[in-house]
Chains A and B, each alone.
Chain A
């Protein structure tokens, strides 16, 4: 069987790519995609830990399903907010949303 740490390395890589996206993308939609990647990394982690550490209980799987659900809700609210800003300001570039600073 594939050892556990392979899965963890994949998840960690996915998480880092997502985090890099969140920190570097200027487009709000791009940031949102980065966040989704981070959450997927968490799901890989949870399911891998479930399979290798506690296959007798369902905790990890249930947690992953909750994460997927909440991620969908969060994306819905996030997109709604981005659309509201776009209607008002004609931009989704985070750097251009700069009425308030310091």
Chain B
């Protein structure tokens, strides 16, 4: 591959990087605080929009099997460069996913950032760079690149979480996030080093080859390495033994950042987990499927049970998102051969993530709108929302239905696919626990619904909503419904994205 070809295939990442630095630069040179504050989010938005165009432009270039991204260095330099990333279905899916997350978050952050912090340029620049790291992580095919991308994502997330320097909650959230996160990534890295030692390579596909060719004595080394890698990625996804950071980080972080954290790092974690387990460790499936199923069960149950007693909506959504990650993990635990049926587990996972993206970001956009007006995000702040802002209340109702998994919403379709995969794989226990948990979750989601529709508002004034927030909420609500009612293209997108990974099983 020549340099030109390589740069063409990397276009989405390049455009996003340039956009981040343009935002940063404009923040420095643009005079007039008022004007700058109003227009910077739109500059960021435009940058992400261009990234979307670039992603669509490179989409057909990936081909069926995907392409490794490496330069042809030529003779005298020891042959070709080692590919660190690939442009394939999974990478493209997560590029699109990231772009959508960034579009929604930059649009909904406007007023919140304007009123809460004087440092706006860095906020948007960091947000775009965090998005870039998700793109890199989901495309990485080498342990070195995976580590670098995950760490890139972690560091930007720490800074964003502690962004409100003068707010004690924000700094406390950042410290907790940082300590858990740095510990988890060190454990993951130790696992990677063992994997490298067992196989002598850091390339995922080459690891798989080395493991099948090598003796079975490395098994005792690979199993702990897998568990350790799972610890680091489980931390990003907020799976249960590694979830303690998430409620605190979600509650303390600026709300647009919370929205981002609840979707972005989870997606990156799942992307890397899928690639690592399915490309590098398919021979050890018997080992890790049991672990994933166990983790999925405790993640769903604990997330839901603790969510029952929350009074802060941000914290409630944090526990709810832990539970949602548990449902998604079912898709990975119950993966099936592609040719046999409509659900491979993996396509259910991606479909679930896609629906979850619109659902959760929409719900957080409403939290932002309410918080802009009331200054806090207790469940009681939502009292009488149907009279104060009918549009928000109805949209929130749709998002909560989707989180519960009631048709006709995207959340229902996602749950249908992952539970369907579990039943098909004869993992009945997994499906039953999932369904029981969905029923339990109705209780705490209903607490918000009851408050919105039947609660007495202490303050009867209507809540003003900025046009961009209105747009975000409206588009998200429509998308949540569209994924269920007009499901075919979304299912096809998810299925085609995992075809290459799933074809091996």
The contact of A84 among B165, B190, B251, by CB within 8 Å, is: B165
Contact with A along B442-454 (1 / 0, CB 8 A): 0000000000000
Nearest neighbor of B249 in chain A, beta-carbon distance = A100
Contact A88:B168 (CB < 8 A) given known A39-B186, A42-B193, A60-B196: yes
Q: On chain B, which size bracket covers the interface?
A: 35 or more
B166 an interface residue at 8 Å Cβ cutoff? yes
Q: On chain A, which size bracket covers the interface?
A: 35 or more
B49 an interface residue at 8 Å Cβ cutoff? no
CB-based contact B200/A99 at 8 Å: no
Kindly provide the distance from the CB of A68 to the nearest chain B CB, expressed in whole angstroms.
12
Kindly provide the distance from the CB of A37 to the nearest chain B CB, expressed in whole angstroms.
9
Contact with B along A32-61 (1 / 0, CB 8 A): 101100110110011011000110000110
Contact A63:B175 (CB < 8 A) given known A70-B147, A99-B169: no
Contact residues of A: prevailing secondary structure? helix
**Chain B neighbourhood of A66, CB < 8 A:** 144, 147-148
**Chain B neighbourhood of A82, CB < 8 A:** 175
CB-based contact B144/A62 at 8 Å: yes
B343 an interface residue at 8 Å Cβ cutoff? no
Nearest neighbor of A70 in chain B, beta-carbon distance = B151
Contact A38:B171 (CB < 8 A) given known A45-B197, A81-B178: no
Contact with A along B133-162 (1 / 0, CB 8 A): 000000000011001100100110011001
The contact of B189 among A42, A59, A60, by CB within 8 Å, is: A42
CB-based contact A97/B252 at 8 Å: no
**Chain B neighbourhood of A60, CB < 8 A:** 196
Kindly provide the distance from the CB of A60 to the nearest chain B CB, expressed in whole angstroms.
7
Contact residues of B: prevailing secondary structure? helix
CB-based contact B172/A99 at 8 Å: yes
Contact with A along B281-317 (1 / 0, CB 8 A): 0000000000000000000000000100100000100
Question: How far does the alpha carbon of A101 sit from the alpha carbon of B306 in the complex, in Å?
Answer: 12
The contact of A18 among B154, B166, B186, by CB within 8 Å, is: B186
Nearest neighbor of B152 in chain A, beta-carbon distance = A70
Contact A100:B248 (CB < 8 A) given known A78-B182, A89-B168: yes
The contact of B175 among A19, A62, A85, by CB within 8 Å, is: A85
A17 an interface residue at 8 Å Cβ cutoff? no
A2 an interface residue at 8 Å Cβ cutoff? no
Contact A74:B151 (CB < 8 A) given known A18-B186, A100-B252: yes
CB-based contact B171/A84 at 8 Å: yes
The contact of A88 among B166, B176, B179, B193, by CB within 8 Å, is: B166
CB-based contact B190/A73 at 8 Å: no
Question: How far does the alpha carbon of A62 sit from the alpha carbon of B201 in the complex, in Å?
Answer: 12
**Chain B neighbourhood of A46, CB < 8 A:** 193, 196
CB-based contact A81/B200 at 8 Å: no
The contact of B171 among A15, A22, A54, A81, by CB within 8 Å, is: A81
Q: List 19 A-B contacts (CB under 8 A).
A: A15-B190, A34-B183, A38-B187, A39-B189, A46-B193, A49-B200, A53-B200, A66-B144, A73-B155, A78-B178, A81-B158, A85-B171, A85-B172, A89-B171, A89-B172, A99-B169, A100-B173, A100-B252, A102-B306
